[in-house]
Amino acid sequence: MLKRSTLAAAVIGLSVMMAAGTVDAASKTHTTSDNDTFWKLSKQYGVSVNELIDANPKVNPLNLYKGLKLSIPVASKKAEAAAPAADKKAAMKAMADTSAQTITATNGVEYAYSKALSVQATAYTAAAAENGKWGAVDYFGDKLKVGTIAVDPKMIPLGTKLYVTGYDYNGLPQGGMIATATDIGGSIKGNRIDIFVPGVTSQAMSFGFQDVKVFILE
């Protein structure tokens, strides 16, 4: 028969092992290569870009370099099993909440939206000085074009379809435009967006800071 002290030690040891297993199951570590981006890692590990950003708050998403240790969140099997039901419930709630929320774009098409945000906008171009070593491409590696918007992913998730209105700039569609949140920027934090515009940097600077409205489309 085990002594009481020995049994207690065994129970404590088992508890520690179980706790350690829980931590390991919740996340894992990835060592980056030169070509890694949060977008590529999100596809590799099946998690969202926003989850990666939240799991690595001290990491600059625009500066992933070889040898960087990243925490990769991993959903538990229980959470994965519950996700479809939760997603369906959330979708039904969203439909109920947004059924009356629509906006008519300048092209006459009516779009449903889930949220309207008042944000401060600036503008940027394809100039090398504005885009660093990545060149004139967005975060996903696609060519910058009218309709490309840089956002704070914690405010507006990457990939979100948007309708932007309220700006005043010769070179953008008059009255408003359909856009997509496909880029990020070091200074774009919180209630800010950066709108890609054609032309040169001096022209973009005339955009200044403008208060615009962003509708998150369904």
181 in Cβ contact with 158 (< 8 Å)? yes
Domain contains 144: yes
CATH code of the domain in which 207 resides: 2.40.40.10
Domain identity same for 60 and 126: no
174 in Cβ contact with 101 (< 8 Å)? no
Q: pLDDT for 22-59, tens place per residue? A: 334 467 899 998 888 888 888 888 888 888 888 988 88
As a whole number of angstroms, the distance between CA 19 and CA 3 comes to: 24
Domain identity same for 203 and 107: yes
CATH code of the domain in which 66 resides: 3.10.350.10
What proportions of the chain, in percent to the nearest 5, are helix, strand and coil?
A: 35, 30, 40
pLDDT, position 100 = 54
Domain boundary among 26, 56, 73: 73
Domain contains 22: yes
Q: What are phi and psi of 187, to 5 degrees?
A: -100, 0
Q: For the chain, how many structural domains are there in total?
A: 2
DSSP assignments along 56-97, one per residue: -TTS-TT---TT-EEEEE---HHHHHHHHHHHHHHHHHHHHH
- Select from 217, 134, 210, 131 the least CA-distant residue to 181: 217
pLDDT beneath 50: ranges in the chain: 1-25, 76-83, 91, 94-99
- Select from 98, 100, 92 the least CA-distant residue to 114: 98
pLDDT, position 4 = 42
Domain identity same for 122 and 206: yes
Domain identity same for 56 and 128: no
Domain identity same for 19 and 118: no
| Domain with 42 in it | 4-73
Asked whether the CA dihedral 176, 96, 119, 187 is positive or negative, the reply is: negative
pTM, to two decimals: 0.65
As a whole number of angstroms, the distance between CA 10 and CA 2 comes to: 10
Domain identity same for 115 and 207: yes
Domain identity same for 112 and 213: yes
